[in-house]
Amino acid sequence: MADTLHPTVRPYDPHSPLAHLMEIAAAAVDEASEEEERDAAETSAVHLVYRAYTYSLAQAVDPETWQGYPAVREHGARRFEASAVACLGGGLWLHHTLRITEADGASDVLTLIVPCTCGRGYTDTVLDTEDVLIEVLAEPQPTHGLSPHDDRTSDCRSVWSAPPLGNRP
Ligand SMILES: [Zn+2]
């Protein structure tokens, strides 16, 4: 029985077109390794920073700061794309990932994660442009980088909706 399912001798010549086709097909469906996903996630974060945050993040955040995380899969399906985070100090983080849709292809999603003054959570802001980053950073300065807690909005609960990062320290 086992011999029938797993014939030891290939029924085709290893140099045949079929053998070549089989290799191409196998390579095409091969998932990137976790290490490759981490590297790619770090690279795309660094590229975005140099492309769109020339005057701020590109100056302040060393490319080595970015730590990549592989995609999160659930039951074999891809639930979250690979991501990268950069610790800015003071409890602030940057999170970068790609949003991939059939219509638009891949687009960058860069999020600034700021601890709330209440100590119970974080607020996160998706950064569309460098101007947004500057605006957000300028705002919490009186609280030394923390996001001022506001009972009316309960913004800091947004920590629960932030993209999971696997093992965020
Ligand atoms: Zn709060």
Q: Is residue 16 part of a domain?
A: no
Question: CA–CA separation, 119 vs 148, rounded Å?
Answer: 10
- For residue 115, report the distance from its CA to the centre of ligand 1, in Å: 8
Q: How far away, in angstroms, is 138 Cα from ligand 1 center?
A: 18
Between 11 and 140, the more confident residue is: 11
Residue 93 included in any domain: yes
Quick: pLDDT tens for 93-133: 999 999 888 888 889 999 999 888 888 888 888 999 999 99
- Is residue 28 situated within a structural domain? no
- Is residue 112 one of the residues assigned to a domain? yes
Looking at the chain, the whole-number percentage of residues with pLDDT higher than 90 is 38
Query: Does residue 8 sit within a domain?
Result: no
| All residues at 6 or more sequence positions from 58 whose CB lies less than 8 Å from its CB, including other chains | 49, 50
Number of domains observed in the structure of the chain = 1
* 8-40 confidence digits (pLDDT tens): 677 888 889 998 888 888 777 667 788 999 999
Domain boundaries, position 83? 33-160
Q: What protein residues have CB closer than 5 angstroms to ion ligand 1?
A: 116, 118, 149, 156
pTM of the predicted model over 0.85: no
Residue 4 lies in a domain: no
Residue 24 belongs to a domain: no
